Structure 1
Amino acid sequence: MQQAAILLAEEAADDWWEVEALYDLCFAPGRTALSSYRLREGVAPIAPLCLTARDQDGILAGAVRNWPVRIGAETAVLLGPIAVHPTRQGEGIAAFLMWRCLERAKTAGWPRIMLVGDAPYYSRFGFEKLENIAMPPPTNPDRVLGIALVEGAWDGITGEVTSMRD
């Protein structure tokens, strides 16, 4: 992918509905019923980690949002959703967004990131299956993945993932 052709920016308030439309296009209509959405309700996303990717004409090609969550007394970033417009898939935009999220989170001092996804895809970014971390049901435990941005950041962390509003 020619990264010069994609302009990365922090999501602005005016981008909200356009990003929501992209998520509606890319995911099943019932996406907001997923357990990860219950963790996001009533909680502000982590603004510096919510990114848009636009082409040189300003057309939205992809987006990612990130949210704070708790596991016991510890906090983590819950990455996602991440989406790329169907006409732009296969160009490396999702990977571009992912790498920038990881860089920005580390720079901001977040020690760990988790997500719900396919291990074969996300392992290339360093994500591994999290043992002893439980997302709200009906999440498949094999899809709960994490990455330590600081050495040992997941060591000793166990329990249920809960919302920051609780």
Structure 2
Amino acid sequence: MTTLFHQIDTAKAGLAAEDLITIRAEAAYEIDERNALLARAMAPDWRTKTSEKLRHGRLPAAGLAFVAKNRAGHILGTVRLWDIYAGIDREGRAVPALLLGPLAVDPSAKAAGIGTGLMLRAIEKARRYGHGAILLVGDAPYYERFGFTGEKTATLMLPGPFERDRFLALELKPGHLDGAAGFVSASGSKA
């Protein structure tokens, strides 16, 4: 369990100044509370989005599901990464990668830095575990500060409707997505 000290504005998160936010691996017993957070934080149609269809019926990538909790033990944020194939390379081999999402923060704690903390943790752990790239569909101005761009997704497609300018990638290993083309597909373990 790691305590996140930087960029968390405890007052905006509804906490006392001396309270802390911890970011740690999600536990199985937290799934119901996480799902309740998603219901509060996400748009009503989030389960029908193409990204969610890639995640449906799958388990998150090993060691890459995180929650942010306050000292009282309430989940204020969540993020998960999922195993996918980012198309195929020039030799016809599937390109392993990760799909990020959803990243969600309790509406009462928006702008407190919890989302930033979750993103930094997810990227750092994915890099440490040796993954080559992370893809996502999201708000480009938000995710660009973490290094995500649309440059490496130009030759990739999602298996359903999506907005091209929101389809972004971050290479954790330089050149990992070079030559990758075609459809993104789920590759993770089934739930």
Partner Cα distance (1:90, 1:25) in 2:
16
Alignment RMSD, CA only? 1.7
> Please, which moves more after superposition, 128-137 or 78-87?
128-137
Match of 1:27 among 31, 39, 42: 42
Q: Which amino acid aligns with 2:107?
A: P
Residue 40 of structure 2 aligns to which amino acid in structure 1?
L
Whole-angstrom CA distance in 2 between matches of 1:2 and 1:76: 29
**What is the Cα deviation at residue 47 of structure 1?**
3.7
The partner residue of 1:66 within 77, 81, 87 is 81
Determine the C-alpha separation between the residues in 2 that align with 1:68 and 1:123: 22
CA distance 1:57–1:126, shift in 2 (3 Å): same
Match of 2:115 among 81, 94, 97: 94
Q: Is the 8 A contact 2:95 2:177 kept in 1?
A: no
Segment drifting more, 63-72 vs 96-105: 63-72
Return the match for 1:9 from 9, 24, 27.
24
Q: Is the Cα contact below 8 Å between 2:8 and 2:114 reproduced in 1?
A: no
TM-superposed deviation, 1:116: 0.2
Alignment length (residue pairs)? 166
Alignment of 1:15-164 (within 5 A): 15-70=30-85, 71-72=87-88, 73-129=94-150, 130-164=153-187
The offset of 1:137, in angstroms, is: 2.0
User: For 1:104, what is the secondary structure of its paired residue?
Assistant: helix
| Contiguous gaps of at least 5 residues in structure 1 | none
Q: Check conservation: 1:11, 1:47, Cα contact below 8 A.
A: no
Matched letter for residue 141 of structure 2: P
The Cα shift of 1:109 comes to 0.6
2:91 maps to which residue? Answer: none
- CA 1:140–1:2 in 2, change beyond 3 Å: closer, same or farther? closer
Per the normalisation by structure 2, the TM-score is: 0.82
Q: Could you list the structure 1 runs, at least 4 aligned residues long, displaced by more than 4 angstroms after superposition.
A: none
Q: Is the 8 A contact 2:138 2:168 kept in 1?
A: yes
Instruction: Assess if the C-alpha contact under 8 Å between 2:21 and 2:68 holds in 1.
Output: yes
Residue 2 of structure 1: how far off its partner (Å): 4.2
TM-score between both structures, scaled by the size of structure 1:
0.94
Unaligned runs of 5+ in 2: 1-6, 10-18, 89-93
